[in-house]
Amino acid sequence: MATATFRIWRGDANGGEFHDYTAEVAEGMVVLDAVHDIQRTQAPDLACRWNCKAGKCGSCSAEVNGMPKLMCMTRLSELPLEKPVTIEPMKAFSTLKDLVTDVSWNFSVKKTIKPFKPRPPDAADGTWRMQQEDIDRVQEFRKCIECFLCQDVCHVLRDHQMHERFIGPRFLIHVAALEMHPLDTEDRIEELRNKQGIGYCNITKCCTKVCPENIEITDNGIIPLKERVVDDFYDPFGWIWRWLKKKSNS
Amino acid sequence: MNGTTALPRRSFGETMRADVWWTQPLLVFVGLSIFIVYSTWAAFQGQNYFFGNYISPFYSPEILGDSPHSWFGPKPNWWPHWLIFSPALLVLWAPGGFRVTCYYYRGAYYKAFWADPPACTVGEPRKSYWGERSFPLIMQNVHRYFLYLALFFLLVLAYDVWKALWFADGFGIGIGTIVLAINLVLLAGYTVGCHSLRHLAGGFLDQFSKSPTCYRAYTCVSCFNRRHMLWAWLSLFWVGFADLYVRLCAMGVWHDWRLL
């Protein structure tokens, strides 16, 4: 059976280093299989977060050969095994131990976003009516599994550490899902510009590239939100047009 | 929002990526640089920009100029001698501005020219970062105004294709006609797929079902938008080639074959 070398980062928030492990490689194996094998046979104290092993729980996020990936969805057959496969924790968050990072910042960010505020029910029984074409767009955003790979790859968070000023692609998609929802009545555009820092996104599309759910984060989520910010803050002719339209309707 | 402390920042170009990550930014850098150098050179020439019923897209609409395509006659006498004149300089800023502020190109040239970042997960050269929140990049928000101009330019270029069908001896089709027609199609594909147009066509709505016309327009624009990068590069290459074709015909280097 063939073998491969896995260069795994071991350490915590205070520092660490790479350790090389050799593991057997079988057909159909994914990176998480190799990590589990190493855990079982060579490094029982190797910390690694995982759960479903089916690409749906978003737990096993790490950086494989420098790119953010779900370890359970990265087949070894896709990697050049003649060189050591590097496995590191996500860089945008502090490391707790080995491959496990502290992603709690994301949950605190989510709490700051204005929640869903539906219009009054359409029917007497307290239910609403929606058309499929109205909901298609936000259904894409709801595929998100919160693996935070997009947050990890975003250079605003990863390199510039602007966690205080920028909510990151995951939560821009969350805002888009709420803001474009046909029933929602809340206005989040001002805080999107002023507090959540959408202007920091410079459209590198790295978030889209790493999304395991293939959500078009930039084209379908962030750019449409940027355009809504333009509507409200940077388009004087648009303001006049909307004012005239409102006037003619009243 | 609570802060977080991650692993130490990596230095410029540092990455654990094992692939040739620099290929794409390098290709973008070379491609855009060639276009910028050629279009600037061509714009300052002020001659050999028309050949019979053909006019270079870099010079159209020719607001002031010496060719028969000029809308308002030759360069006026009051034009200051010290100020360089070329019909292209009067118009090229508009399609140039449309491309510079385009969402696709922004992402591409931030990486290729400014290394911000050089590629995904590759270390950056600077610690500071302003994004598009403050001057000068906040000006990118003017994109939709350049879109309005670009849509007008499409009409002008469509008229140029119409003129390219009419030779001194009547209706005909030359290689130049086809070159200008392809240019129009590619520029239209690029412009119609614009993210701002997608928003203005219907993306601003939360309930498409209440505006079926807007929904149809949104769907149509989205269709072009999915290949926006491809349209951007094809149209960029072809608009440069269309200028080169007309220029070389005007210089007598190439002969324009009549097909019909």
C-beta atoms of A162 and B129 within 8 A: yes
Q: Which residues touch A49 (CB under 8 Å, ≥6 apart)?
A: A59, A60, A99, A100
Q: Looking at residues A7-31, what average pLDDT do you find?
A: 95
Q: Which of A76, A79, A140, A158 to mutate to test the interface with B (most CBs of B within 10 A)?
A: A158
Burial environment of residue B253 by CB neighbours within 10 A (0 to 12, 13 to 18, 19 or more): exposed
* One domain for residues A156 and A227: yes
Q: Which residues touch A45 (CB under 8 Å, ≥6 apart)?
A: none
- Search chain B and give the residue with CA nearest A153: B121
B22 part of contact set with chain A, CB < 8 Å: no
Assign residue A45 the CATH number of its domain.
3.10.20.30
C-beta atoms of B195 and A13 within 8 A: no
Kind of pairing between the strands at A2-12 and A85-88: parallel
* One domain for residues A43 and A69: yes
* One domain for residues A138 and A72: no
Please state the domain extents for chain B.
23-250
Backbone angles phi, psi at B168, to 5 degrees: -60, -30
Residue B9's pLDDT is 63
- What residues make up the domain containing A13? 2-101
Q: What length is written for chain A?
A: 250
Residue B2's pLDDT is 39
A234 to A166, A249, B6, B133, B142: CA distances (angstroms): 20, 24, 35, 12, 7
Mean pLDDT of chain A: 96
- Minimum-distance CB partner of B207 among A134, A199, A234: A134
Dihedral sign computed on CA atoms, order A79, A84, A89, A91: negative
Round to whole Å and give the CA distance between A26 and A1: 7
Structure tokens at B186: 């590619």
% of chain A exceeding 70 in pLDDT = 100
Helix (H) or strand (E) holding A31: helix A31-41
Contact of A176 with A189, CB cutoff 8 Å = no
pLDDT digits (tens, 9 = 90+) for A63-95: 999 999 999 999 999 999 999 999 999 999 999
Whether the predicted pLDDT of B3 surpasses 50: no
* One domain for residues A117 and A64: no
- Residue B8 carries which DSSP code? P
**Which residue, A58, A79, A101, sits at the end of a domain?**
A101
Structure tokens at B112: 């290729």
A215 to A103, A173, B45: CA distances (angstroms): 21, 9, 46
A87 bridge partner residues: A8, A64
* One domain for residues A79 and A112: no
Q: Looking at residues A108-112, what average pLDDT do you find?
A: 97
**Which residue, A62, A86, A101, sits at the end of a domain?**
A101
Burial environment of residue B130 by CB neighbours within 10 A (0 to 12, 13 to 18, 19 or more): middle
Residue B8's pLDDT is 59
pLDDT digits (tens, 9 = 90+) for B196-248: 999 999 999 999 999 999 999 999 999 999 999 999 999 999 999 999 999 99
B130 to A107, A200, B8, B108, B136: CA distances (angstroms): 25, 7, 20, 17, 9
Residue A249's pLDDT is 84
Whether the predicted pLDDT of A60 surpasses 50: yes
% of chain B exceeding 90 in pLDDT = 93
Tell me how crowded residue A163 is: count the other CB atoms within 10 A of its CB.
23
* One domain for residues A132 and A88: no
B137 part of contact set with chain A, CB < 8 Å: yes
Round to whole Å and give the CA distance between A231 and A220: 17
Residue A33's pLDDT is 98
Q: Domain total for chain A?
A: 2
pLDDT digits (tens, 9 = 90+) for B143-187: 999 999 999 999 999 999 999 999 999 999 999 999 999 999 999
* One domain for residues A112 and A199: yes
Question: Is the complex ipTM more than 0.95?
Answer: no
Assign residue A235 the CATH number of its domain.
1.10.1060.10
* One domain for residues A115 and A83: no
Residue B11's pLDDT is 87
- Minimum-distance CB partner of B111 among A105, A204, A237: A204
Residue B7's pLDDT is 54
* One domain for residues A143 and A39: no
**Which residue, A101, A134, A159, sits at the end of a domain?**
A101
